[in-house]
Amino acid sequence: MDDCVTIKKKHLQRPIFRLRCLVKQLEKGDINVVDLKKNIEYAASVLEAVYIDETRKLLDTEDELSDIQSDSVPLEVRDWLASTFTREMGIVKRRPEEKPKFRSIVHAVQAGIFVERMYRKTSSMVGLAYPAEVIVTFKIPVPNLISFAEALEVGYSKYKNPYHNLIHAADVTQTVHYIMIHTGIMHWLTELEILAMIFAAAVHDYEHTGTTNNFHIQTRSDVAILYNDRSVLENHHVSAAYRLMQEEEMNILANLNKDDWRELRSLVIEMVLSTDMSGHFQQIKTMRHTLQQAQGVDKAKAMSLILHAADISHPAKSWELHYRWTMALMEEFFRQGDKEAALGLQFSPLCDRKSTLVAQSQIGFIDFIVEPTFSLLTDSMEKIVMPLIEEATKSESPAFGTPGQNSLGGVSNAEAQRRPGFKSTGDGGAHAENSLATVDLRGFRDNLMKIIQANKERWKELAAEEELGKNVGEQEKDQSRNSTDAQLQEETTRTQNESSQGSDGTTCPPRSIVLQVVSFDTPLSDESSSEKCTISDPNQKDLSDAQQETQSTDPLNGEPKHCKKSEDIVKATEQTEALVQN
Ligand code: CMP
Ligand code: MG
Ligand code: ZN
């Protein structure tokens, strides 16, 4: 035992030291067989425990994926789902254990105020429909907010993406706002957390290059190198947005104290990084596990789920919107495919414009990604909000269901305590419809699920055509694909026409405003759009000449044609909300 004497006793409890000590003893030949057996058994049990744990982790993720192996899902779609929504195990995200306590920032930053003002190009306060008290307590300096919002618009328009542009940012921000109000979750969040949610949504795809993380990694782009291939785009979105605020005139967080600034930053980073789709299954699994536990739900996790759900929410909206978002995304994927072809790279899944099964992929996306996410979202909201509703009912808070109590639409006593800065604003921004009493979680869930199902059915009809195209001979295949394309084209035209018609066939201006704004470059309906809308991607500047040839200077002098005026975006967000409520 001489050698082992030199090893501190506490080290002997660690299997590695025990084993090394045994080796030394074996070398010397002074080993006690009983000790040897005991130690080997101990080491085996430790290894077994590690193995079981790792295997369980692996199997859990595979569980989620096993359904995808079903023959009903085309191979191409299966490959895409597996490669896009999973990543290697072992990259466990850090989470701050203890957050600083909430300290009041603004008294009435109702999320909608922020969203609307983010996109309102006006340096004057005149004409805003908010009461003076709200404006006074709104601690974000308005000129800074305007400069920041304008810089965001520029960044979102930089690559002229059909999908990942400022309208997508506005859409996701508005959807986060909608979820917070209609699930009642805003009553569980502090004002700082509400601000973090809205801010994270607004910046979550800032300066998106229109290409995927995998493309960045494969082409060894500057950002991929900078972020070591980990959540490349998502890291860039947050980092670049924060870099904007380093400029004094764009610093919308100038009035936050140090603790609030830190807390907000930590939440924003966690939320935006969780929009990386390769963490999807892991995120769903962790949250499902959390819901089964007795203790409360972690705030940052719940908020991340809300942003993630909003980010993939268009299949839960009217067919007209969903279809057009999908086609815009496909066009963006196809442009990446064009670049891949030019670079001699393999097509990424769904990026080959000649062979991608759009309708089939959407059925897979809805079945395996969207439905489970929204089901988990509503389960989570129920677990969190139901106790708040019960508490509010019991305490019969005057704010519960009584209009005009405060700018947040009524909160329970317990909630008022969670919001130390909370004060009544008189009737000001009162929204009785946003009180806990009016929260209808069942209605929220049923409505979403109904729309998702209806959209899936529409894709199934289109998929039947696609299937036909797959089964015919090579030459016919092309023709048939053309016919599928023609059908999709027809669908595009139809949704454009439908969308500008009221249910009685009359023209419905608000809807047409949304759809004009949401139509971006009107992909598919405008065959020449991909030529007109050239892509200049500084992140790919180290790529081959072949790619350089596909680039050209901005023909529109920095103002992309899909970049509509801010006023239109305000209208779009308002109207999109109306559509979501349908
Ligand atoms: P992003 O907005 O960065 O984060 C969510 C991602 O989900 C989005 O990019 C797309 O990559 C993906 N996504 C959204 N909608 C669809 C869809 N209809 N089909 C396939 N992928 C989608
Ligand atoms: Mg993103
Ligand atoms: Zn997004």
- pLDDT tens digits for the chain (582 residues)? 444 544 445 455 566 777 777 788 888 887 788 888 887 877 777 776 665 565 555 445 555 666 676 667 778 888 888 888 877 533 333 344 333 222 222 333 344 444 444 444 443 444 445 667 666 678 899 999 999 999 999 999 999 999 999 999 999 999 999 999 999 999 999 999 999 999 999 999 999 999 999 999 999 999 999 999 999 999 999 999 999 999 999 999 999 999 999 999 999 999 999 999 999 999 999 999 999 999 999 999 999 999 999 999 999 999 999 999 999 999 999 999 999 999 999 999 999 999 999 999 999 999 999 999 999 999 999 999 999 999 988 886 554 654 333 333 334 444 444 443 333 333 333 456 678 999 999 999 999 999 999 999 999 999 998 888 776 645 555 555 555 556 666 776 666 555 443 333 332 222 222 222 232 222 222 333 332 222 223 333 332 332 333 333 222 222 223 333 334 433 434 433 433 332
Pocket test for ligand 1, best of 234, 312, 462 (most atoms within 8 A of CB): 312
Q: What is the pLDDT of residue 209?
A: 98
Three-state DSSP class for 536? Answer: coil
Instruction: Give nearest CA residue, ligand 1 atom 13.
Output: 312
Mutate to test the pocket of ligand 1, among 272, 277, 518 (most ligand atoms within 8 A of CB): 277
Q: Show the CA angle centred on residue 245, arms to residues 233 and 209, nearest 5°.
A: 25
The angle that helices 299-311 and 191-203 make with each other, rounded to 10 degrees, is: 30
User: Which candidate, 279, 291, 272, 317, places its Cα nearest to that of 381?
Assistant: 291
Is the Cβ atom of 311 under 6 angstroms away from ligand 1?
A: yes
State the pLDDT at residue 147: 97
Catalytic positions, please? 164
How far, in Å, from the CA of 168 to the mean position of ligand 3? 7
Give the CA distances from residue 339 to residues 173, 225, 325, in Å, rounded to whole numbers and listed in that order.
30, 20, 21
Question: 161 alpha carbon to ligand 1 midpoint, in Å?
Answer: 13
Kindly give the distance from the C-alpha atom of residue 234 to the centroid of ligand 2, in angstroms, as a whole number. Answer: 6
Q: How far apart are CA 512 and CA 315, in angstroms?
A: 19
Closest Cα to atom 18 of ligand 1: 326
For residue 436 and ligand 1, the question of a CB distance below 6 A is answered with no
Centre of ligand 3 to C-alpha 147, Å, is: 22
Question: How far apart (Å, rounded) are the C-alpha atoms in residues 546 and 247?
Answer: 37
Angle at 474 between CA 468 and CA 475, to 5 degrees: 95
**Ligand 1 lined by 547 (C-beta under 6 Å):** no
Cα 338 to Cα 41: distance, rounded to the nearest angstrom: 58
Separation of alpha carbons 357 and 484, rounded Å: 10
Q: Is 577 in the pocket of ligand 1 (CB under 6 A)?
A: no
Q: For residue 546, report the distance from its CA to the centre of ligand 1, in Å.
A: 28
Q: For ligand 1, atom 21, which residue shows the shortest CA distance?
A: 365
Closest residue CA from atom 7 of ligand 1? 312
Q: Is the CB of residue 103 less than 8 Å from the CB of residue 260?
A: yes
Look at ligand 1, atom 1, and give the residue with the nearest C-alpha.
Answer: 311
Ligand nearest to the CA of 312: 1
In ligand 1, the atom with minimum distance to the C-alpha of 172 is 2
* 146, 123 contact by CB (below 8 A): yes
Could you identify the atom of ligand 1 that is nearest to the CA of residue 325? 18
Ligand 2 centroid, distance to 28 Cα (angstroms): 60
Report the pLDDT value the prediction gives residue 316, as an integer from 0 to 100: 98
Q: Is 306 in the pocket of ligand 1 (CB under 6 A)?
A: no
Is 363's C-beta closer than 6 angstroms to any atom of ligand 1?
no
For ligand 1, whether the C-beta of 281 sits within 6 Å is no
pTM of the model: 0.67
For the CA of 350, the closest atom of ligand 1 is 20
Write down the pLDDT at residue 135: 66
C-alpha R_g of the chain: 27
pLDDT value at residue 375: 98
Structure tokens at 492: 């595009």
508 Cα–ligand 3 center, Å: 28
Ligand 1 in reach of 365 Cβ (< 6 A): yes
Is 275 touching ligand 1 by the criterion CB < 6 Å?
Answer: yes
Q: Whose CA is nearest to atom 3 of ligand 1?
A: 205
Cα 364 to averaged position of ligand 1 atoms, centre (Å): 13
